[in-house]
Amino acid sequence: MLLALASLKAAPGVTTAAVALASVWPQPEVVLVEADPDGGSLVTRFDLPADGPGLTSLAAAGRHRLSRQLVAEHVQTLPGGLAAIPTSPAPGQAAAAVAALARPLGEQLAGTPEVTAIADCGRLSAGSPARPLADAADLLVLVCRPRLEELRLALARLEERPPPTRVGLLLTGGGYSVAEVDRLFGDRVAVGVVGSLPDDPRTARALADRTATPRDLRRSPLIRHARSLAERLSDLLAVQTARSA
Res 208: pLDDT:
66
Give the pLDDT means over successive 10-residue stretches in the chain (245 positions).
90 89 92 96 88 94 88 90 94 96 93 89 91 93 91 86 86 88 79 87 71 66 91 88 67
Could you give the count of Cα atoms lying within 13 Å of 111 in the half-sphere of its Cβ? 10
Q: How far apart are CA 51 and CA 65, in angstroms?
A: 22
Is there a contact between 30 and 167 (Cβ–Cβ < 8 Å)? no
**Backbone φ, ψ for residue 153 (5° rounding):** -65, -45
Q: What is the CATH number of domain 2-244?
A: 3.40.50.300
CA 177 to chain centre: 23
Among 42, 43, 56, 21, which Cα is nearest to 139's?
21
Res 132: pLDDT:
95
Q: How far apart are CA 200 and CA 94, in angstroms?
A: 28
Among 187, 156, 191, which Cα is nearest to 170's?
191
Three-class SS of residue 118? strand
The set of residues, in sequence order, having a beta carbon less than 8 Å from that of 154 and lying 6+ positions away, is 8, 142, 144, 169
Domain coordinates in residue numbering, the chain: 2-244
DSSP annotation of 40 reads -
Orientation of helix 14-23 relative to helix 221-244, angle to 10°: 80
The set of residues, in sequence order, having a beta carbon less than 8 Å from that of 137 and lying 6+ positions away, is 2, 3, 4, 106, 110, 119, 165
CA 245 to chain centre: 24
- 229 burial level (CB within 10 Å; 0-12, 13-18, 19+): buried
Q: How far apart are CA 33 and CA 87, in angstroms?
A: 8
